[in-house]
């Protein structure tokens, strides 16, 4: 009859640092590739900490990804043959990424986004909450709190070994900066 559903939807994988978002994104990419789907992955050009042209997880997995400077660049780079679009570190894009994901899903693509849902202060991070609102599927991962073993939903920022303050600049020249997984109770923020 007329009940022929169309493909195209948005999946979001969120959580704190070390929760396994990139690992999970790479797992989904691999499985789609095994099923002979055409997959194209993107990441913001500013994120080249581990890999210039790939998605890298903290446990060493890597998948190819095209670095882009803005969300519309993703739309322009997705050709009709692509079935699956993956975006890592989605929190670093601006709000335009929401409309880009919506358009791709409307075109029939499976869109998989991975990104931080909270910043180091525990506040909603960039476009991730907006994506969570429009996604069909949401996976929220937890790391393990390095202080108590509880569910680490937060990312602790340490500057020269001390908890960062609410208003510390995102980039601090000459300071040694470190991030670790912590639960809500162990997360500290200097005021
Ligand atoms: P994310 O993309 O969410 O930052 P990754 O997929 O890059 O996470 O890394 C997940 C990996 O990080 C885990 O498989 C584990 O090897 C490592 N890891 C390091 N610290 C922790 C922690 N506190 N809790 C859980 N995993 C951790
Ligand atoms: Zn804890």
pLDDT tens across 9-58, in order?
Answer: 999 999 999 999 999 999 999 999 999 999 999 999 986 666 678 898 88
Nearest of 97, 102, 88, 103 to residue 14 by alpha carbon: 88
**What does the DSSP assignment read for 166-183?**
TT--SS-TT--EEEEEE-
Q: How far is CA 67 from CA 96, 180, 181, in A?
A: 16, 25, 26
Q: Whose CA is nearest to atom 27 of ligand 1?
A: 18
Ligand 1 contact via 156 beta carbon (within 6 Å): no
* Ligand index nearest the alpha carbon of residue 19: 1
Would the CB of 143 count as within 6 Å of ligand 1?
yes
Q: Are 104 and 72 in contact (CB under 8 A)?
A: no
179 is in an annotated binding site: yes
Query: Could you tell me the domains of the chain?
Result: 9-141 (3.40.50.300), 142-191 (3.30.60.20)
* pTM, two decimal places: 0.94
Is residue 89 annotated as a catalytic residue, yes or no?
yes
> Residue 138: pLDDT above 90?
yes
Average pLDDT, the chain: 94
Give the mean pLDDT of 98-105. 98
Q: Is the pLDDT of residue 171 over 90?
A: no
Q: Considering the candidates 23, 89, 95, 136, report the single residue annotated as catalytic.
A: 89
Local confidence band at 170 (pLDDT 50, 70, 90 cut-offs): low
Residue 169's pLDDT band (boundaries 50, 70, 90)? confident
Could you tell me the distance, in angstroms and rounded to a whole number, from the CA of residue 153 to the centre of ligand 2?
A: 10
Q: What's the N-to-C CA distance of the chain in angstroms?
A: 62
């Amino acid at each position: 009859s007329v009940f022929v559903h169309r493909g195209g939807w948005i999946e979001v994988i969120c959580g704190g640092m070390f929760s396994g978002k990139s690992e999970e994104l790479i797992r989904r990419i691999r499985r789609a590739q095994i099923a002979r789907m055409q997959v194209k992955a993107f990441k913001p050009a500013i994120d080249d900490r581990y890999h210039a042209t790939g998605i890298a997880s903290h446990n060493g997995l890597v998948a190819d990804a095209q670095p882009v400077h803005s969300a519309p660049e993703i739309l322009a780079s997705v050709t009709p043959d692509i079935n699956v679009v993956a975006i890592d570190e989605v929190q670093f894009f601006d709000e335009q990424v929401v409309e880009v994901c919506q358009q791709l899903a409307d075109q029939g693509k499976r869109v998989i986004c991975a990104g931080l849902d909270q910043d180091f202060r525990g506040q909603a991070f960039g476009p991730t909450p907006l994506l969570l609102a429009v996604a069909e599927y949401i996976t929220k991962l937890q790391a393990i709190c390095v202080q108590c073993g509880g569910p680490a939903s937060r990312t602790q920022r340490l500057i020269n070994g001390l908890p960062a303050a609410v208003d510390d600049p995102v980039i601090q020249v000459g300071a040694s900066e470190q991030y670790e997984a912590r639960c809500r109770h162990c997360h500290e923020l200097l005021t």
